[in-house]
A = this chain, B = another copy of it.
Amino acid sequence: MAVSGEVIIVGGGIIGLASAWRCLQAGLTVTVFDPDPTRAAAFAAAGMLTPVTEAYWGEEDLIAVSTASMRRYAGFVAELEAVTGLDVDLRTSGVLVVAFDNDDLEVIEDLFRLHESCGLPSRRLRGRECRAVEPLLTPTTRGGVLAPDDGSVNPRRVLGALSRAVELSGGSLVCQQVRELRIQGDRVEGVLTDDGVAHGADVVVLTAGAWTPLVRGVPEADRPPVRPVKGQILRMTSRLHSHHPGITVRGFVRGSHVYIVPRSDSEVVIGATSEERGFSRQVTGWGVNELLRDALTLIPGLGESELTECRAGLRPGTPDNGPVVGWGRTEGLYLATGHFRHGVLLAPITAEAVAADLAGRPAPAEIGAFRPGRFVGEFVP
C-alpha cells in the first residue's frame, strides 16, 4: 500500500523523528506531535550502539535487526550531519565488557560463547588486557570481552539534529499532546490534540514509546503490548582529562550490571536501572546508589567527576524485547514502538522500514520478525 498525502506522527522521540525525516525524503507531508520531547526515552538514554555486547541467547532475530541497523549507522549519521551541520558524536571504536569477580566472569564467558555461536565480532581479554584498553579500570578487573565494532552516539544531539532535519525537509513539529486517535468506520481519519483541535491525516504513525498504550481511541486489536520499563541514569562531567574514560565500558559487578559511556567532550553517562514501576520517573536513592556504587567500583576515578544530572526514562518494553513496526489492522494506522533498550540503535532501520512501508516499497528484511500481530493472544494492559 502506497500512501500519498498527510502523515501524522504521534511522538517526537528518536523513532518518531527519524521516521518523519525518512518519510519527508520519500515525498510525504509529515507533522510530528509531541508535548515534551525531553520525556523521550532517547533523551535519557546513554546512546550505546551495542548489537554485539547487548546480545542475548534466544534473541537471534533481534541480533539480526540490530546488526542490520548498526551497518546503516555511519551512513545515517553522515547524512544527518551533512544535512544539518550538527555533530552527533558517533563513536565506533568498540565497547569493552568487563567482570569484577569470578561469578561476573562466568557471565562474560557466556556472552563470549554467544558471540562465537552467532559469529559476532568480539575478542576475549584477560584482566590486564582490559586495563590496557581502558587504563582507568580497577586493577581487580578479572577479564572481559572487547567488541571492536560496537560504539555510541549522543542521543540528545541526534534528537536535536533530527528535529532540524525534519524542519529543513519541510516537516512540522508541533508541541501538542495527542489525546485521541480518530477513526471513521475502519479507517484512520486523524488525531485530536489536547487543545480540542482535530487534525486530519491519511496515515497516523504511533511512535509514542512507552506512552503508546495511553493514546486513546486505538482499537483493541491494534493496541501493542508495550509497557514502561524505568531506567535511572546519571550524567557526570570529568573534571580532569586523565579521569575521562576512553571507551564505553559495560561491567558486571558482583552480579549487578552497569555501563559507563564517555563522550568526545567531558560528559560521561552512567546507566541504568531496569524497573517495573509503571509511569513513575522518580529518581530514587536506591537507583543512584546502585549506579554510582558499581561505576565507581569499576572506574574509581569517576568519583572525582561532577555529578551533573540524575534522571529516569521509560523504555517501551514488549513481551519478546523486540520492537513493533508495521501496519495495524485499522486502515491507515501504523505502529513503530516497543524498541525497549534499542531505540537509538534501531532508529535507522526502523525509519527506513516506516518510509518504505508508507511508500509501498519493500522494507528491510530483518524487520519482518517484528511486525505487529505477532502477539495475538498476549495480554494487552
Nearest neighbor of A295 in chain B, beta-carbon distance: B285
Contact A283 B303 (CB under 8 A): no
Nearest neighbor of A289 in chain B, beta-carbon distance: B292
- B contact residues around A304 at 8 Å (CB): 284-286
Quickly give the copy total for this chain.
2
- B contact residues around A293 at 8 Å (CB): 289, 293
- B contact residues around A296 at 8 Å (CB): 285-286, 289
Complex alpha-carbon distance, A296 and B284, angstroms:
11
Complex alpha-carbon distance, A283 and B303, angstroms:
10
Contact A282 B239 (CB under 8 A): yes
- B contact residues around A3 at 8 Å (CB): none
Q: Nearest Cβ distance between residue A349 and chain B, in whole angstroms?
A: 35
Contact B303 A236 (CB under 8 A): no
Residue A133 CB within 8 A of the other chain: no
Complex alpha-carbon distance, A304 and B273, angstroms:
13
Complex alpha-carbon distance, A310 and B288, angstroms:
11
Contact A306 B292 (CB under 8 A): no
- B contact residues around A308 at 8 Å (CB): 283
- B contact residues around A292 at 8 Å (CB): 285, 288-289, 292
Residue A305 CB within 8 A of the other chain: yes
Contact B310 A285 (CB under 8 A): no
- B contact residues around A284 at 8 Å (CB): 303-307
Mask of A306-323 contacts with B, CB within 8 angstroms, 1/0: 111010000000000000
**Which residues of A in the span 241-290 have a Cβ within 8 Å of any Cβ on B?**
282-289
Determine which of B236, B285, B306 lies in contact with A305 in the assembled complex, contact meaning CB atoms within 8 Å. Answer: B285
- B contact residues around A305 at 8 Å (CB): 284-285
- B contact residues around A286 at 8 Å (CB): 296, 303-304
- B contact residues around A306 at 8 Å (CB): 282-285
Q: Nearest Cβ distance between residue A161 and chain B, in whole angstroms?
A: 29
Nearest neighbor of A306 in chain B, beta-carbon distance: B282
Residue A353 CB within 8 A of the other chain: no
Nearest neighbor of A237 in chain B, beta-carbon distance: B282
Complex alpha-carbon distance, A109 and B189, angstroms:
76
Complex alpha-carbon distance, A286 and B307, angstroms:
9
Complex alpha-carbon distance, A288 and B296, angstroms:
11
Residue A302 CB within 8 A of the other chain: yes
Complex alpha-carbon distance, A239 and B295, angstroms:
26
Complex alpha-carbon distance, A305 and B288, angstroms:
11
Counting chain B CB atoms within 10 Å of each CB, which of A286, A302, A310 scores highest?
A286
- B contact residues around A282 at 8 Å (CB): 239, 306
Complex alpha-carbon distance, A295 and B292, angstroms:
14
Nearest neighbor of A310 in chain B, beta-carbon distance: B307
Determine which of B289, B295, B302, B303 lies in contact with A303 in the assembled complex, contact meaning CB atoms within 8 Å. Answer: B289
Complex alpha-carbon distance, A292 and B232, angstroms:
15
Closest 5 CB pairs of A and B: A286-B303, A289-B292, A282-B306, A285-B303, A283-B307
Binding site for B on A (CB under 8 A): 234, 236, 239, 282-289, 292-293, 295-296, 302-308, 310
23 CB contacts below 8 A, A to B, read A234-B285, A239-B282, A282-B306, A283-B306, A284-B304, A284-B305, A285-B292, A285-B296, A285-B302, A285-B303, A285-B305, A286-B296, A286-B303, A286-B304, A287-B307, A288-B292, A288-B307, A289-B289, A289-B293, A289-B296, A289-B303, A293-B293, A310-B310
5 further interface pairs, Cβ-Cβ under 8 Å (given A283-B306, A285-B295, A288-B307): A236-B285, A282-B306, A284-B304, A285-B302, A289-B289
